[in-house]
Chain A
């Protein structure tokens, strides 16, 4: 049958818990990775980025982990809040030009 859209994976977490969102990227030559948050009807909002010469980077309440061996990226959100509810996209880039986005994960925070 014809696909009418992506069926995004959904992560449901309780307010205050930690969230881990995973992403598998495709290009082993990618050297820059970024996480975006997208709320309904809005543009992607930058959360955190990491270069390929690093395997971990921390921001405010967020941590990105990069495993180049298995081409895996994760976003950890500490003490998840209702305002964190959104779709989260990872994106990869080679030489810092076009971004190639992943399919996205829906994060739902239950109060």
Chain B
């Protein structure tokens, strides 16, 4: 069964450093998403991406964040200068379509720890 994959599974970084989280969405999916989950809290939407551009972003997704689809398979989230409060699980998701009812499938997540 096709699944979303993410690398790395864990990332430890120093405050102020840049990190890139990688995702390989399900191959025939056209919509891509990043969510995060701070320990013990609910899953929060960060950004959605379609047709090589951001379609929606949350207030969390400030100028320190960026997304890219560098090739036909990868989807990346970059945090330019990490802060302590960026420590969280980051989930990538993808869906075949949108517009009401297209299931988003989630990857296993990357646990980011900023020291």
Task: Tell whether, in the assembled complex, residue A44 and residue B106 are in contact, meaning their CB atoms are under 8 Å apart.
Answer: yes
Given contacts A4-B40, A98-B48, contact A45 B100 (CB under 8 A): no
Residue of B with least CB distance to A46: B103
Complex-state Cα separation, A4 to B39, whole angstroms:
9
The B interface, classified by DSSP as helix, strand, loop or mixed, is loop
Contacts of B99 in A (CB 8 A): 95-96
Q: Which of B71-96 contact A (CB under 8 A)?
A: 91, 95
Most buried by A among B42, B44, B45: B42
Closest to B44 in A: A101
| B68 contacts partner chain A, Cβ-Cβ < 8 Å | no
B: contact size bracket: 20 to 34
> Is A32 in contact with B45, judged by CB distance below 8 angstroms?
no
A43 touches B42 (CB 8 A): no
- Taking a contact as CB atoms under 8 Å apart, the answer to whether B40 and A6 are in contact is yes
| CB-based contact B56/A97 at 8 Å | yes
Instruction: Please state if A43 and B103 are interface contacts (CB–CB under 8 Å).
Output: no
Per the 8 Å Cβ criterion, residues 34-73 of B in contact with A are 35, 38-45, 48, 55-56, 58
Q: For residue A66, give the distance in angstroms from its CB to the closest CB of chain B.
A: 13
CA of A100 to CA of B58 in the docked complex: distance in angstroms?
A: 11
Residues of chain A with a CB closer than 8 A to B56's CB: 97-98
**How many Å from the CB of B50 to the closest CB on chain A?**
9
Instruction: Please list the 10 inter-chain residue pairs (A to B) with the smallest Cβ-Cβ separation, ordered nearest first.
Output: A5-B40, A43-B106, A96-B100, A98-B45, A101-B43, A96-B98, A44-B106, A96-B99, A101-B42, A43-B108
